[in-house]
Each structure stands twice: as C-alpha cells, then as structure tokens.
C-alpha cells in the first residue's frame, strides 16, 4: 500500500504486493505456486545453455561495472547456482574483480578447491566482467539490467531487478527454482576496526542516521548534505534527542577521509568519504535509519545484514527512475518517489533508455526534508526498541 506525502511525492513500502494489472508486465508463462521445486516448466528450456552448464566444472562470477547494477544482478548468479544444485552438478565457484569481497559475503560461493576443477568453465557477470575473462569460457552469461522485463505470475507483478534476473534465468533453465520473493541475496557483516572506533567515539549511539551523498550523477541525484542535516534536525526534535548523522560519500580519489561538520542544535554530523564498500557493509547495520538516493550504496545498505539478521529501514529517493525496478525487493527497503518515477514504474519505462523527457525538470528538491523526516519517524517508531 502506498501513501501520498504532503509534498506530492509518494511513499512505497518495501516488498509491496503489486497486482499484475497495475503495471506493464510480461507474463512469466506459468504459475510458480503450482509447480513443485525442481519440476520442469511448461516452457522450452534453452537446450544449448542447459547442455553447457551441465558439463561445467567451474563457475566464475565476474562483475566490473557499477556497484548498484552488480548488487541487483546477484540474484541471477543465485539462480544459476540453485539450478546446478538441483541438477546435482558439482562445480567450483569463485569470484573475481573489484566486488569479489562483497560477493563472497552473500554465501553463494563454495569454498575454493585445492585441485584444478574438471569440466567446462562458465562465466556469469556484467558485460565488462565477462569480456575481461576472455574467450576461454564454454558459456558466458551476461546479466544486463536493461534485459529482463517486469514479469507477472499468479496475478502478481515482480518489478524489482533481483526478481527480474532470477525469474529470467529460471525460464531459460527450464525448471522451477527454489527461491521466492525477495530474490536478492543478503550480505553478511562482521567486525570492523573503523566501526568499533566510531562506536567508541559515540557516533553509533541512541539516534544514529546514515545519509548517502555519493552519486555518479550529482547534478541529478545529489540530495546535498544540508538537506540531510535538516532532515536529521526534524527527527531529533521530534524525539527530543541528539542525533548523530553519518554523511556517506563516495571515493574522492585520495583514500578514506573523515571530517566533522559544524555541530547543529540537535545534530552532530560526520562526513565519511572513501570508505570501501566492504567497510560500509559492516557499518550500515549499526544505524537506526538510512536515507539515500537511487545509487549503489543505498542498495548495499539494504542488503547488509547484521549478525542478528536484522537491518535498519532504508529509504531510497527516486526522482526520475522507476522506484520499483531499482530496488532490492527486501521488506525494509522503502522508496519515496515523484509522480514521474511512479509513471516509469507503472509503464516499465526508463527516462534514459526510452528517451522520455520529464514534464518538468525534476530534481532532488522534490523531496522536502520535513516530508522525509515524517516518513523516517514513522519507520523508526516501528523498529526502534
């Protein structure tokens, strides 16, 4: 269920049940609920793909593109590995590239073998990662975010990218795979020296908010530090508490950089720039609320799970792109979106790919801090102990 915020933007909760008739979808071709796990689908499988994967002794997971695209595509890797297990095909699985550490945290990979694997070699990843592995693979699977449509089955739409990738691979492989929504794998977290240092200095206290300022498209997606500080002020005033705000930036090119902002009346803010994604995966579960633009670090925050398997609520801000496609599908990963973003969701459209000019020049100022703070307060009241 969605609610309209006072500013004309709309709140969309995590893992909503989206009726198939409410959005533009492609029928999956079968009702998943009626097919037992491991049973053949009433669709023809890709015989050549099945043949080649059946003879594989090694699977290499290779991503080198954008962080967000990589994280949302890991469900496609999950689908292939689920299929191999169901078919009792024993393979060694390893990952290469800049995201190898993060991918290892999903638990999808098997332990490295001490002997050279026998059989063919399969590579699965994004186009850059697959091409970097050369032409030695017997089969290469490219997980392109533009490829899988919004599927519908059992009267329900599956608009998030993890669902799209998983179900697309299930159709190609021809048997009912075991996963159900949400299809995105989660990232395990562990001890981290910087996290412990922040805790000892009081930055991970009773009211801790993380705000993601990093973006590859700042003129379109930068919500700005000042707006986040204003948002935190509203929340702190409502709770009659001092808030600690962590402003999470990207990599400025000169390594990790931590600087304190001038203290506000109810907010102390700390800028953290250049912290590796692996470290941020350890940090995010210690926050009470996370707000970010539609970017890879926001997806990372949603997929990072603490040792108690809990995760704080994550709010993604969507001004132009579909709020449903570019989300993890996890129940605590929410969205606040403009009407343009909602139209992209309903039509399964992309303003860049489909060259759709907006009716008005929509920027991040469409989301007033007071409006976001009200949503954040409601979420905090539901999860804070």
Range of the domain at 322: 3-14+188-383
**Domain-located, residue 81:** yes
User: ∠ CA 95-98-102 to the nearest 5 degrees?
Assistant: 65
- Do 219 and 144 have their domain in common? no
Split at pLDDT 50, 70, 90, the class of 113 is low
pLDDT single digits (tens) 165-216: 999 999 999 999 999 999 999 999 989 999 999 999 999 988 999 999 987 6
DSSP collapsed to 3 states, 98-154: CCHHHHHCCCCCCCCCCCCCCCEEEEEECHHHHHHCCCCCCEEEECCCCCCCCEEEC
More confident residue, 366 or 327: 327
75-89, 100-114, 280-294: segment of lowest average pLDDT: 100-114
* DSSP classification of residue 241: S
- Do 180 and 194 have their domain in common? no
What distance in Å separates the CA atoms of residue 77 and residue 169, rounded to the nearest whole number? Answer: 9
Burial class of residue 71, CB neighbours in 10 A (0-12, 13-18, 19+): buried
The tokens describing 18, both together, are 């989206």
- Do 256 and 223 have their domain in common? yes
**Domain-located, residue 210:** yes
- Do 88 and 201 have their domain in common? no
- Do 57 and 168 have their domain in common? yes
**Domain-located, residue 21:** no
**Domain-located, residue 311:** yes
What distance in Å separates the CA atoms of residue 296 and residue 67, rounded to the nearest whole number? Answer: 5
CATH number at residue 216: 3.40.50.2000
What distance in Å separates the CA atoms of residue 297 and residue 328, rounded to the nearest whole number? Answer: 12
- Do 204 and 331 have their domain in common? yes
Measured CA to CA in angstroms, residue 149 lies from 63, 83, 299 at distances of: 21, 21, 20
Query: Is the model's pLDDT at 100 over the cut of 80?
Result: yes
In this structure, the number of other CB atoms found within 10 A of the CB of residue 355 comes to: 7
Q: What per-residue confidence (pLDDT) applies to 310?
A: 75
Phi, psi (deg, nearest 5) at residue 163: -65, -40
Split at pLDDT 50, 70, 90, the class of 3 is low
- Do 272 and 134 have their domain in common? no
What distance in Å separates the CA atoms of residue 349 and residue 341, rounded to the nearest whole number? Answer: 9
End-to-end, the C-alpha distance of the chain in Å comes to 25
Domain end, chosen from 169, 185, 201, is at: 185
User: In the chain, how many domains are there?
Assistant: 2
- Do 370 and 259 have their domain in common? yes
More confident residue, 252 or 70: 70
What distance in Å separates the CA atoms of residue 309 and residue 253, rounded to the nearest whole number? Answer: 33
What distance in Å separates the CA atoms of residue 176 and residue 215, rounded to the nearest whole number? Answer: 37
- Do 200 and 223 have their domain in common? yes
Decide if 150 contacts 172 (C-beta within 8 A). no
Split at pLDDT 50, 70, 90, the class of 307 is low
**Domain-located, residue 24:** no
**Domain-located, residue 19:** no
Q: What per-residue confidence (pLDDT) applies to 384?
A: 37
- Do 48 and 89 have their domain in common? yes
**Domain-located, residue 25:** no
- Do 77 and 176 have their domain in common? yes
Decide if 74 contacts 127 (C-beta within 8 A). no
More confident residue, 7 or 129: 129
User: Whole-model pTM above 0.85?
Assistant: yes
Q: What per-residue confidence (pLDDT) applies to 308?
A: 66
In terms of Cα–Cα distance, which of 231, 225, 205 is closest to 376?
231
Domain end, chosen from 185, 210, 241, is at: 185
CB proximity list for 301: less than 8 A, separation 6 or greater:
210, 212, 280, 284, 290, 292, 314
Domain end, chosen from 153, 185, 217, is at: 185
Count the residues in the chain: 385
In terms of Cα–Cα distance, which of 372, 311, 316, 318 is closest to 340?
318
- Do 269 and 137 have their domain in common? no
**Domain-located, residue 203:** yes
In this structure, the number of other CB atoms found within 10 A of the CB of residue 307 comes to: 10
**Mode of pairing for the β-strands spanning 156-158 and 151-153:** antiparallel
Q: What is the dihedral of CA 349, 352, 353, 357, to 10 degrees?
A: 60
Phi, psi (deg, nearest 5) at residue 102: -65, -45
Q: What per-residue confidence (pLDDT) applies to 1?
A: 41
Task: Report the SS3 class of residue 300.
Answer: helix
């Amino acid at each position: 269920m969605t609610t309209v915020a006072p500013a004309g933007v709309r709140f969309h909760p995590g893992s909503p049940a989206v009726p198939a008739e409410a959005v533009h979808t492609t029928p999956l071709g079968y009702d998943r609920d009626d097919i037992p796990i491991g049973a053949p689908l009433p669709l023809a499988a890709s015989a050549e793909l099945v043949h080649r994967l059946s003879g594989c002794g090694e699977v290499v997971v290779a991503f080198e593109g954008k962080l967000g695209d990589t994280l949302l595509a890991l469900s496609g890797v999950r689908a292939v590995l689920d299929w191999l297990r169901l078919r009792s095909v024993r393979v060694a699985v390893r990952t290469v590239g800049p995201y190898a550490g993060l991918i290892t945290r999903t638990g999808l990979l098997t332990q490295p073998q001490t002997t050279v694997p026998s059989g063919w070699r399969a590579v699965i990843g994004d186009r850059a990662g697959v091409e970097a592995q050369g032409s030695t693979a017997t089969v290469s699977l490219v997980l392109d975010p533009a490829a899988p449509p919004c599927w519908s089955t059992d009267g329900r739409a599956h608009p998030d990218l993890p669902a799209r990738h998983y179900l697309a691979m299930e159709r190609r492989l021809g048997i009912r795979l075991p996963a159900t929504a949400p299809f995105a794998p989660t990232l395990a977290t562990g001890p981290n020296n910087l996290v412990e240092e922040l805790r000892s200095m009081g930055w991970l206290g009773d009211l801790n908010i993380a705000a993601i300022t990093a973006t590859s498209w700042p003129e379109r997606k930068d919500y700005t530090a000042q707006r986040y500080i204003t948002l935190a002020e509203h929340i702190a005033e409502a709770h009659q508490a001092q808030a600690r705000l962590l402003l999470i930036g990207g990599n400025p090119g000169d390594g990790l950089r931590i600087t304190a902002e001038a203290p506000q009346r109810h907010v102390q803010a700390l800028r953290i720039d250049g912290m590796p994604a692996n470290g941020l995966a350890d940090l995010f579960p210690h926050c009470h609320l996370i707000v970010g633009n539609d970017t890879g670090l926001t997806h990372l925050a949603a997929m990072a799970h603490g040792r108690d398997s809990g995760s704080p609520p994550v709010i993604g801000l969507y001004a132009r792109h579909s709020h449903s496609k570019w989300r993890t599908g996890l129940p605590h990963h929410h969205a606040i979106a403009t009407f343009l973003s909602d139209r992209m969701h309903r039509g399964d459209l992309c303003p860049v790919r489909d060259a759709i000019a907006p009716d008005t020049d929509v920027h991040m100022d469409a989301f007033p801090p007071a409006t976001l703070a009200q949503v954040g307060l409601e979420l905090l009241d539901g999860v804070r102990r």
